[in-house]
A = this chain, B = another copy of it.
């Protein structure tokens, strides 16, 4: 066995409600993992401490010591500057935290970081549904819509590292209000928040009934992907209409990505897709076909479900460390 094949890497996914750690090799096989829940808006120092504890727990499961790790990759819900600063993570309440420097000092490994959606896209590119493609776009339908863009093994996030905000491109000028304050964002339609506002409108303004009301105690913004999947599979009319609309708009997002970026692969992931993807894929693809240009670009783009599930960000962060550190 070559020495390179016995190297191990740590990937940390710092999410809005959890910290997830994987110990991976360079082929993306997971040798140990750990997960810690939290309640959002958490102090950076607290996250560092919990992350280190999770890393040690994952190392235990992998039967590895800290000395056997070659590098660390971190995915975080923030733009990441080249110096490793996390610029702003609204879900965590962070502003300009020294993400890479702090973890490098704490754990002593070469450390690299990427935005979580970029890391997820990079993970799918390296180990999942987007392997061997020159350009890969990732679109992640969860509470919001996140996106990432990888080209020639490089994450493209714009000259200020804050681009690839697919969820906030405008697809319906003057339309539905988005959480960002603007109207007509893709996220205002093709996300759980978009689904929630559609359902709330149907119930409160149109007087319709849906099993979703009971499944979320009437708090539609807290709807879980599993509840959506249950209602969709039960052909609950309001749930079907809401989710179909979200899928149609996700298809518009896919189409705009094809029209602008002509990637070889578009990977669809995120909680709603995890729960319902195979039921929605045909609808998304059909909407994308109608809306993308030129027709040859639609034909040249493969639209695929993500393969790495909720390991995508942590594995992608580990892959990013391997790439950036040339391990």
Knowing A165-B293, A172-B172, A172-B173 are in contact, say whether A159-B260 is a contact too (CB < 8 A).
no
In the bound complex, do residue B159 and residue A134 qualify as a contact, i.e. CB atoms below 8 Å apart?
yes
Knowing A162-B294, A263-B159, A296-B162 are in contact, say whether A170-B135 is a contact too (CB < 8 A).
no
In the bound complex, do residue B249 and residue A163 qualify as a contact, i.e. CB atoms below 8 Å apart?
no
In the bound complex, do residue B255 and residue A163 qualify as a contact, i.e. CB atoms below 8 Å apart?
no
Question: What total of chain A residues lie within 8 Å of the partner, measured CB to CB?
Answer: 47
In the bound complex, do residue B159 and residue A300 qualify as a contact, i.e. CB atoms below 8 Å apart?
yes
In the bound complex, do residue A164 and residue B263 qualify as a contact, i.e. CB atoms below 8 Å apart?
no
Which residues, 166 to 203 on A, are CB-close (under 8 Å) to B?
166, 168-173, 175, 180, 182, 185
Chain B CB within 8 A of A215 CB: no
Which residues, 11 to 54 on A, are CB-close (under 8 Å) to B?
none
Interface string of A259-294 (1 = CB under 8 A from B): 111111000000000000000000000000011011
Knowing A159-B133, A159-B135, A160-B300 are in contact, say whether A165-B259 is a contact too (CB < 8 A).
yes
- Highest count of chain B CB atoms <10 Å: which of A157, A165, A252: A165
- A159: chain B residues within 8 A (beta carbon): 133-135, 262-264, 300
- Highest count of chain B CB atoms <10 Å: which of A133, A156, A294: A294
- A156: chain B residues within 8 A (beta carbon): 151, 261
Instruction: Name A residues whose Cβ lies closer than 8 Å to a Cβ of B.
Output: 79, 87-88, 133-135, 149, 151, 156-166, 168-173, 175, 180, 182, 185, 249, 252, 255-256, 258-264, 290-291, 293-294, 296-297, 300
